[in-house]
Structure 1
Amino acid sequence: MSDRHVTTDDSWAPDACTLPTRDRPLRLAEFDQFFRDAVQGVDRLSAQHLRLRLAGAGQVEETARDLTARESSCCSFFAFDISPDSLTLDVRVPAAHVDVLDALAERATSVRSQK
């Protein structure tokens, strides 16, 4: 992910991720679709905190809740908070996983720019 273009590999997935390797490309594709369809903006509030501004369309909140719940079950270091009032998705990680948040922010920005 360091070359600033979107790839389909999971080389940035941390060892702490328990999602089976064979399922990672599918999850990555789901996140890419979410970034393309639902994310209007990406704001880095701190090294450990990323905010995604979401589109106000129909099932965006439901999709975000489903995707983040499944991601939390295999990567428990993520803390996701969805605010339906402001339609934002806050993503927080402990200091040991800032590099993963960096990769997520870079991917969201890269995928959005390919619209």
Structure 2
Amino acid sequence: MSTEAESWAPQACTLPTGERPLRVAEFDALFTEAVQNVRRVDATSVSLDLQPRPEVAARAADLLVRETGCCSFFTFSLVATGGSLHLEIKVPGQHAEVLEALAARAEGMSK
């Protein structure tokens, strides 16, 4: 796993180390295939615009539920409204670096 990917997994993460590259790959695939825009709201909040398709919403929801199972410090809000799909991600201040790494990865993958 790359150093960038490792920065997602602070000590608070309970996902077994061997499963982390698979989870990173799932996020990478979502970012590559569905993210249209990344906005950093502040140091502890990021907003992603996703392709507004039911299969994207279902895939994102499944991934996010599993991610909160091992990294409970994330708060994910998936909102579908007015023909758009947004993913809001928030973390407590002590995990701002993890969110920054995730946002940078999303930006890099979505281009």
Scaled by the length of structure 1, the TM-score of the pair is 0.88
Question: Structure 2: which 5+ residue stretches go unaligned?
Answer: none
Task: Kindly indicate whether structure 1 or structure 2 has the higher relative contact order, using CA contacts under 8 Å at least 6 residues apart.
Answer: 2
Counterpart Cα distance in 2 of 1:41 and 1:10: 20
- Percent identity between the aligned chains? 48
Runs of 4+ in 1 over 3 A off after TM superposition: 7-10
Aligned ranges 1:98-113 → 2 under 5 Å: 98-113=96-111
| Alpha-carbon shift at residue 11 of structure 1 (Å) | 2.0
Compare the two structures and name the one with the higher helix fraction: 2
- Counterpart Cα distance in 1 of 2:77 and 2:38: 15
Q: How does 1:4-23 map to 2 (within 5 A)?
A: 7=2, 10-12=5-7, 13-23=9-19
8 Å contact kept, 2:49–2:87: yes
**Offset at residue 9 of structure 1 (A):** 6.5
Where does structure 1 lack aligned partners over 5 or more consecutive residues?
A: 1-6
Q: Indicate the SS of the match to 1:14.
A: coil
How many Å separate the matches in 2 of 1:39 and 1:10?
A: 18
Please, what is the CA RMSD of the aligned residues?
1.4
Aligned length: 107
Query: TM-score normalized by structure 2?
Result: 0.91
Please say if residues 83 and 89 of structure 1, whose CA atoms lie closer than 8 Å, have aligned partners that are also in contact: yes
Identify which of 77, 87, 90 aligns with 1:89: 87
